[in-house]
Chain A
Amino acid sequence: DTGVSQNPRHKITKRGQNVTFRCDPISEHNRLYWYRQTLGQGPEFLTYFQNEAQLEKSRLLSDRFSAERPKGSFSTLEIQRTEQGDSAMYLCASSFALEYEQYFGPGTRLTVT
């Protein structure tokens, strides 16, 4: 297991379309996080899971956004009716609950045209 993986790495979509991203965490990591990073800014927290339970959601996560982690392993982040303001890098990270390091994946870069 070489680390956190994310797919796709790049996604270009037209405004109004739905998109779904996938994150595969490091094996046996029970915490999984989603962050969003816009150009020139630091990453912003979106949501996190402990096992399959979604424990916190940021106010940034409008009702067009939904995240799932159905079996406590991989996670998906869906954006419905995309807007140009959704263009960003979406980063996934994972960790053990009792350890300190969060390991980041390579990210999915979304461009909404």
Chain B
Amino acid sequence: ELKVEQNPLFLSMQEGKNYTIYCNYSTTSDRLYWYRQDPGKSLESLFVLLSNGAVKQEGRLMASLDTKARLSTLHITAAVHDLSATYFCADFQGAQKLVFGQGTRLTINP
């Protein structure tokens, strides 16, 4: 099983600032997922990116996929405290299973 790597692993930022989380994956998959997890909770689906160049936005979050670079990004615009959580990207490998990155623990301070 091929790895999925996220960076940074920890991110502390101020409200109102912008930042980007990066996700590198090693397969030739063209399907990439982003999930949010609050402490002690399960996974909430944020985005499913299905093709090269795909861009999806929901509120202050925007995700994109570059299959040639094997890179996905999750961009946070004008962060608010409610976005504090751990964010995971996951690659769909072998048409069978999700392989997750290590997660990025995001803390947004007032």
Contact = CB atoms under 8 A, between A and B. Distances in A.
Interface of A: 33, 35, 40-45, 48, 55-56, 91, 93, 100-107
B50 A41 contact: no
Given A100-B48, A101-B48, A104-B42, A33 B102 contact: no
| Chain B interface category by residue count | 20 to 34
Interface of B: 1, 4, 31, 33, 35, 41-45, 48, 50, 88, 90, 92, 94, 96-103
A55 B96 contact: yes
Contacts of A93: 98
Given A100-B31, A101-B48, A107 B42 contact: yes
A44 B100 CA distance: 7
B88 A33 contact: no
A42 B100 contact: yes
Given A104-B42, A104-B43, A106-B42, A48 B100 contact: no
B97 A45 contact: yes
A106 B41 contact: yes
Given A42-B88, A42-B100, A48-B97, 20 more contacts: A33-B97, A41-B102, A42-B102, A43-B88, A43-B100, A44-B100, A45-B1, A45-B99, A48-B96, A56-B94, A56-B96, A100-B92, A101-B45, A102-B33, A102-B45, A104-B42, A104-B43, A104-B44, A104-B45, A107-B42
A43 B1 CA distance: 14
